[in-house]
Amino acid sequence: MKIIVGSENPVKISAVNEAISEYMGIEADVHGMAITSAYAPDYYFSIGLESGLIFLDATKRYLDFCACAVYDGKEFYFGLSPGFELPQKISEIIEKEGVEIDVAVHRTGLSKNSRIGYSEGIIGILSEGKITRKDYTKQAVLMSLLHLPKK
């Protein structure tokens, strides 16, 4: 089964591979591609993944989560990961400067890695490796697979 992921991020591709294997019980041929739309008719599923932020007025901080959209050529299926609150300092940098989480984390000194989204993610740093970006991305993929027709 060929699957396309609208990203070249190895964390996202690995999360999709594991989720498909665990949920569907098959080994998929998962490919990543840097494109704006993940739809590709030559693939069984086209999958889009994106992390997002929700601003929490009460705390003036952001909640981070991952969203997944799976398209089978006819229908879309959506899922979200659990969310977690970003530290105040990171939220302040994002709010004031309008930068990505990677940049804000790097500026705070929490990581020397300027591309944490391609590795453990901010969740990996905050949880000291107990939860990684792949873990919470995989949860979004699994949630999107719930209503897929059983083939």
Q: What angle do CA 16, 9, 117 make, to 5 degrees?
A: 105
Residues 75-110 have pLDDT tens digits of 999 999 999 999 999 999 999 999 999 999 999 999
pLDDT at 151: 56
Residues 6+ apart with CB under 8 A from 23: 142, 145
2-145 topology per CATH: Maf protein (3.90.950)
pTM for the model stands at: 0.91
pLDDT at 36: 73
Query: Which regions of the chain are under pLDDT 70?
Result: 150-151
Residue 50 tokens read as 């994106």
pLDDT at 60: 84
pLDDT at 114: 86
